[in-house]
A and B are shown apart, each in its own frame.
Chain A
Amino acid sequence: GESVGLHLPTLSVQEGDNSIINCAYSNSASDYFIWYKQESGKGPQFIIDIRSNMDKRQGQRVTVLLNKTVKHLSLQIAATQPGDSAVYFCAENAGNMLTFGGGTRLMVKP
């Protein structure tokens, strides 16, 4: 995935609402996908992953959906909280290399 430059796409949601963050990946050979959360001044933090033989995986308050036909990945966060405010990156893994997408900034309004 290519970067989106200096201005990250931003998703603004009301506290308590559900959030959906989307990601398009580029390599049809990628077989493993990860969502990371990055707070200001910190390293990326693992949220949830999914393998290419699955189309949905659920964690605590988070769900990842994978559509291999259109090479699309989404992260759904239920009952979004102020602590969810961060930049979210998807990453695709093919072989030994992990390639990151450009990121989406999630802002949660109280």
Chain B
Amino acid sequence: NAGVTQTPKFQVLKTGQSMTLQCAQDMNHEYMSWYRQDPGMGLRLIHYSVGAGITDQGEVPNGYNVSRSTTEDFPLRLLSAAPSQTSVYFCASRQGRAWYQETQYFGPGTRLLVL
């Protein structure tokens, strides 16, 4: 049971390039989400999914796309990278939507630098 895994660990992009950050979980969790963390700050929600085929926007969704074709995977796509997207990206999952399934578990993060 690997928990939540993310790839790559580190990425450098040029402005305007696109890329996909991968996230997978092997806990059969329904709910997955993406956060970004800027230096010295808390995490902000980008997008989330409450199940396969269902996604929704979080606090800071602009410039990012997501899809959820399987329960296990929740990739985050940067359409045209900008320096403002330099950040550490965390994927998280939780078992479900019920109150007793609310604890979120985080992956190790992807550090993204946009030049």
Our pick among B40, B50, B56, B106 for the contact of A5 (Cβ within 8 Å) is B40
Q: Report yes or no: A97 in contact with B58, Cβ–Cβ below 8 A.
A: yes
Q: In the complex, which residues of chain A have a beta carbon less than 8 angstroms from the beta carbon of B109?
A: 41-43
The 0/1 profile, CB within 8 Å of B marked 1, for residues 53-95 of chain A is 0000000000000000000000000000000000001010100
A96 and B59 CA atoms in complex are apart in Å by 12
A44 close to B103 (CB less than 8 A):
no
Q: Are the CB atoms of A100 and B43 closer together than 8 Å?
A: yes
Return the chain B residue nearest A97 by Cβ: B45
Please encode chain B, from 81 to 115, with 1 for each CB lying within 8 Å of some chain A CB and 0 for all others. Answer: 00000000010100001010011111111000000
Contacting pair A44 B56 (CB below 8 A): no
> What is the number of residues of chain B that contact chain A, defined by CB distance less than 8 Å?
29
- A42 contact from B31, B39, B48, B108, Cβ within 8 A: B108
Across the two chains, which residue of chain B brings its CB closest to A31?
B99
A101 touches B45 (CB 8 A): no
| A8 contacts across to B, CB distance below 8 A | 40
Whether a CB of chain A sits under 8 angstroms from the CB of B2 is no
B77 in the interface (beta carbon within 8 A): no
Chain A residues with Cβ below 8 Å from B50 are 96
- Interface positions, chain A 12-63, Cβ under 8 Å from B, are 31-32, 34, 36, 41-46, 49, 51
Instruction: Given A98-B45, A103-B41, answer yes or no on A46-B103 (Cβ-Cβ < 8 Å).
Output: yes
Partner of A7, one of B40, B42, B102: B40
Interface positions of A (Cβ within 8 A of B): 1, 3-8, 31-32, 34, 36, 41-46, 49, 51, 89, 91, 93, 96-103
Top 8 A-B pairs, shortest CB-CB distance: A43-B106, A100-B42, A3-B41, A6-B40, A100-B43, A44-B106, A102-B42, A43-B108
7 contacts between A and B (CB under 8 A): A34-B104, A36-B106, A43-B92, A44-B43, A49-B103, A89-B42, A100-B35
Known: A46-B104, A100-B35. 13 other contacts (CB 8 A): A3-B40, A3-B42, A5-B40, A31-B99, A34-B104, A36-B106, A44-B43, A44-B106, A46-B103, A89-B42, A93-B102, A100-B42, A103-B42
